Amino acid sequence: MIGHELIVWNDELVTGVDKIDEQHRILVNSINDANARLSANSSAEILEQISRDLLSYALYHFETEEELMQEFNYAGSNADESEAHLRQHREFSSKVVAVRDGIKAGNLISREELLTFLNGWLINHILKTDKRLGAFIVAKSHAG
């Protein structure tokens, strides 16, 4: 079992857009929660709940971000980046749905795989993709 450190919310994670940051904090808490509650052998019940929370996160959080992207015309200013961003959102949702399908069929995702996926999301999406969006929105709001 790989030891995953608890994630402490820090300035590095801040995108600068309050609404986004607030929701990211909830995700960070969920990841820490998953870390604390999952043992080496994940129980279906806990995985079911964690994955449901992640679905919920995908729904409200991606809506928030994508609404902001539309509002600030991210695609118009930065088409490739916007498209990649949306694609990552869809991939996240698909992965969570796949995890849930697995649970249903009795193929439980391991603690390590789930935490690796979530930490990867944090590192690749929040720390990179979201921060670029945050910087864009902050710059645009100041300009406007």
Partner 1 sequence: MLRRIALGDIQVETLKVLKYPLFVKYGNGMTIEIPINSIIPSEPEVIVVFSFGFPVGKPDRGAEQLFGYTDDEAIGHTMDMLIPPDRPNEEAEILARISRGERVDHFETVRRHKDGRLINISASISPIMDEQGKIVGASKICTDITMSKAAADEIKYLAFYDPLTGLANRRLMSDRMEQILSLARRTGELVAICMIDLDGFKQVNDQKGHEAGDQLLIEVAKRLQECIRESDTASRFGGDEFAIILGGFKENSECIQSINRIISSLAAPYMVVNEIARVTASIGATIFPNDSGNPDQLLRHADEAMYEAKHAGKNCYRLFNPSLMNQQEANNATFKKIENALAKGQFVLYYQPQVDCRLGKVTGVEALIRWKHPILGLLEPSEFIPLIEHHDLIITIGEWVVQNALKQLVKWQSLGIDLTISINISARQLHQIDFIDHLNVLLAGHDQNVIRRLEIEVTETSVLEDVNAIANAIHKCREMGVRIAIDDFGTGFSSLAHLKKIPFDILKIDKSFVLGMLRNPEDLVLVDSVIGLATSFNRKVIAEGVESIDHVLMLLELRCSLMQGYEIARPMPAEQIPSWIGKFAPNPLWKLVNSQRPSRDYFEMLLAEVNHRHWIEHLVNQLCESQESFNPDLLIDHRQCRFGRWYYGDGHRQFGAENWFLSMEPVHQRIHQTAARLCEHRRAGKLAEVKAEEAILLFQQDELDLLLRRLRSELAEKYLMDQITKPHGEPT
What's the CA gap between 7 and 4, in Å, rounded?
9
Shortest approach of partner 1 to residue 26 CB, angstroms?
5
Shortest approach of partner 1 to residue 106 CB, angstroms?
7
| Integer angstrom CA distances of residue 133 from 16, 21, 113, 118, 129 | 10, 12, 27, 20, 6
**Sign of the alpha-carbon torsion through 119, 123, 126, 127:** positive
Q: Which is nearer to partner 1, 36 or 143 (CB)?
A: 36
Of 55, 74, 53, 68, give the one whose Cα is nearest residue 21.
Answer: 68
Q: Which is nearer to partner 1, 88 or 93 (CB)?
A: 93
Shortest approach of partner 1 to residue 142 CB, angstroms?
24
Cβ contacts of 8 within 8 Å, gap of 6 or more: none
Q: Which is nearer to partner 1, 57 or 121 (CB)?
A: 57
Residues that bind partner 1 (CB under 8 A): 23, 25-26, 29-30, 32-33, 52-53, 55-60, 62-63, 66-67, 70, 89, 93, 97, 100-102, 104-107
Shortest approach of partner 1 to residue 49 CB, angstroms?
10
Q: Which is nearer to partner 1, 48 or 81 (CB)?
A: 48
What are φ and ψ of residue 73, in 5° steps?
50, 55
